[in-house]
A and B are shown apart, each in its own frame.
Chain A
Amino acid sequence: MNQILKMEEISKSFPGVQALNKVDFELYEGEVMGLVGENGAGKSTLMKILSGAYQKDAGRIFLDGRKIEIESPYHAQKLGISTIYQEFNLTPNQTVAQNIFCAREPIKKSILGNLGFVDKELMEKEAQKLLGMVEADISPKEMIRDLSIAEKQMVEIAKALAFKAKIIIMDEPTSALGLEEVEKLFEIINQLRTQGIAIIFVSHRLEEVFRIADRITILRDGKLVGVMRKEEANIEKVIYLMVNRPLSEMFQKEEVKTEEAILEVKNLYKKGVIKNTSFKLYKGEILGVAGLVGAGRTEMVRLIFGADKKDKGEIYLEGKKVEINTPADAVKLGIGLVPEDRQGEGLILKLAVRENIGICILRNLVNTLFVNKNKLSEIAQNFIQRLNIRTPSIFQKVLYLSGGNQQKVVLSKWLALNPKILILDEPTRGIDVSAKAEIHTIMNQLAKSGIGIIMISSEMPEILAMSDRVLVMNEGKLVAEISKKDATQEKIMAYASGYIN
């Protein structure tokens, strides 16, 4: 195999941080390279340099043996380096074909072409061809906003192929995909591999990296700490290199025996979204909710929380029937929701850590007229210590914290309320290994203190390790309730994908 890319001694610093320190990175034709490291290890910085979003401070980059300077993201694409970001670069108000050929639309052959008229037919035909290469069942005429996340990803891959990409960087490509869609993505990756395209697979999900990658590059604190072939590697070794300490296997929740139902949902229903759903949540329990993306898990908890309007259904809190029509009602009753989209729905990024933590309890902190800022600071300070939130101060804007610390702020916000029930939607998505373990520890402590926790997760190991019981959803319906001792990956998958009913 030919070497396609070589990056030598790449360094990059930002005010106060050495993000990359003389990192080497190489890539061969038709290879899948896993790139792993904790948040802040320098993965994204390295990839942003390769994709032209950042300029390196020092170092050399060779593409096909030729020394190059990557000037801009567009330049990188023209060189054959395409990046598929977690938040896609697609315009939702345009069609698939328009997106694939964005800014490079084929123009009409006639005089009209000189006037800038687009050859729509040709464009859609070409787009169809590219979509066929990734076996995507999407019409080029469809609007991006009507596509699922997995479909958008396929459009991005097709777009990369349109640029005749030699290298495709995938940044956390599976984080928003369901199990079935991950399989489909892996098929596509395998196919791209046979075409000689090299893929850089950046991910926190080590199981997946081990499945798909040929080699793995590990970064820590801006330095290269290991490159190994998959055969030489194992998960323990990689984790050891990533965090520089051995990590005992996935956190296991301590079992809490309790018979007392804290929440009961009866016949929850919303037309076209959730079909008659009933279940109970016990005190001190972590109830895992598994299912494919689009199975209606997020939708279900939003109905319970009052974020969306339910058509039918009753909710009982500690045996008493309650009316929850708005999130404000739920908050008053002591129910908290840690949403899937941390930055978009969980936090107010422009505000400080202190204000974010205090947002649900402001009313309790009023001295006659004004909010008692000292008390608020005290509470925030307390949570920073309790949950080990790494921030220079309580006045830091949440925007500047890492993903794991942001999630801890969201958790603090709800814990300040002393909730009876916490709903966690993908609580550790995109969070690095050690912060993840910390969050799992916190969840365990909370459950022990008697809080009922509903945890939606697409990560099978997390579901298996953390749940006392597992609910499985498929197409808006609860299809199974599995106890901890009976739960296996195969069983949950089978229910989730609708093989058993």
Chain B
Amino acid sequence: MKNKTSTKNFGQFLKFQKFQEIGILIVLIILVLFLSITTSTFLTSTNIFNILRAFSWNAISAFGITMVIITGGIDLSVGSVMALSGLISAMMLRANFGDFLSILGGLFIGALVGFINGFLVGKTNLPPFVATLGTMNIARGFCYGLTGGWPVRDLPKSFIFWGQYDIPFLGLKIPLPVVVMAVLCILTSLFLNRTVWGYRIYAVGGNEQAASLSGINTKRTKILVYTLCGFLTAIGGILMTARLGVAAPTAASGYELDIIAAAVIGGTSLTGGEGTILGALIGAVIMQVLRTGMVLLGFPAYWQPAATGIIIIAAVIFDQYRKRKMGLVQ
């Protein structure tokens, strides 16, 4: 009896929750099939892991921004935070703080900028767009100010290991950043779907008034999501720096829009209350597959951004159409 109700519940769960991502998954599969047929290089393990490695830091940040967007907010500072946290780690490494402390320092800076975002949005009631537009410029300013515009080079091998090491697994070589991303994807997904905090994040984004009147501390919830977003973005930034082996003050410029696009393609609603980590992951994969795919196809480089834009819009329209058809939204 118990078993029967649980399978029934599970079926309903699938119907109401999981299938949200099916639309964009179809888009991704079509893209992959198309590229596998039209190019000989796409479906090789080297290429696939190149794709995965190249998008892993964006995806990690996208997990964070998805939570921010679910609360009805936005975070424009993620690109700058990526650069700044990588830079701080790099500078600390050069000042001989050691790997552990340096990485911790980078993570701390990311979380700090996130906390400031959360504080500005939650406590002073600044619109998230304005607050994070400000911190985006402040963080970028620190990047330039601290370095005088020069990149920080010659990072220790033990640090670069995090970005460049490939784990041998069943004859494949899985890049370490991809493993970190996969672990974080599972952790944030669990956090968002299974913990009290996750429930509150959805509640605040769905209806802030009602959430507050139900006894939820909405300010604290907002501070939490922005801080987490900053922290996750810092992980991404440090992995990126480790992969590139150099921390440039101009790094990750404009990434915020790619990261927001990944979340939105993944079905996160900019009006808040809806979105999943799995969706953000698929969204980030689509972005990277597009970019790599166009290179492999020999698509003219100067036209690539235009094509990317068109495909983003088409993917989201398709996804919304499907959701309406299924009665998931009205």
Contacts and interface: CB of A to CB of B under 8 A. Distances in A.
A344 B216 contact: no
Given A360-B214, A369-B195, A393-B16, 15 more contacts: A327-B212, A328-B215, A331-B214, A337-B213, A345-B210, A348-B273, A350-B274, A351-B202, A359-B199, A359-B216, A362-B199, A366-B196, A369-B194, A371-B194, A371-B196
B9 to A, nearest CB: 6
B279 to A, nearest CB: 15
B209 A345 contact: yes
Interface in B14-33: 15-17
Given A344-B209, A351-B273, A369-B194, A331 B215 contact: yes
Contacts, number: 90
A298 to B, nearest CB: 12
A363 B212 CA distance: 15
Interface residues of A, number: 39
A395 B20 CA distance: 14
Contact of A355 (B190, B203, B213): B203
Interface string B196-229: 1011101100110111111111000000000000
A121 B190 CA distance: 62
Nearest to B209: A345
Give chain B's interface secondary structure class: helix
Interface in A299-350: 305, 307, 326-328, 330-332, 337, 339, 341, 344-350
- Count chain A CB atoms within 10 A of each CB in B15, B194, B203, B210 and give the residue with the most: B210
Nearest to A417: B215
A391 to B, nearest CB: 12
Contacts of A413: 214
Contact of B207 (A347, A360, A363, A373): A347
A369 B195 CA distance: 6
B217 A326 contact: yes
Interface of B: 6, 9, 12-13, 15-17, 190, 194-196, 198-200, 202-203, 206-207, 209-217, 273-274, 327, 330
A355 B202 contact: yes
Interface of A: 15, 305, 307, 326-328, 330-332, 337, 339, 341, 344-352, 355, 358-360, 362-363, 366, 369-371, 373-374, 377, 393, 395-396, 399, 413
Contacts of B190: 370
3 smallest A-B Cβ distances: which pairs? A331-B215, A348-B206, A370-B194
Contacts of B196: 362-363, 366, 371
- Count chain A CB atoms within 10 A of each CB in B190, B198, B215 and give the residue with the most: B215
Contact of A339 (B195, B213, B215): B213
A373 B9 CA distance: 11
A348 to B, nearest CB: 4
27 contacts: A305-B213, A327-B214, A328-B215, A331-B215, A332-B215, A344-B207, A344-B210, A346-B213, A347-B207, A349-B206, A349-B207, A350-B202, A350-B207, A350-B273, A350-B274, A358-B199, A359-B203, A359-B211, A363-B196, A366-B195, A369-B194, A370-B195, A371-B198, A395-B15, A395-B16, A396-B16, A413-B214
B217 to A, nearest CB: 6
- Count chain A CB atoms within 10 A of each CB in B13, B16, B17 and give the residue with the most: B16
Contacts of B199: 355, 358-359, 362, 371
A346 B274 CA distance: 18
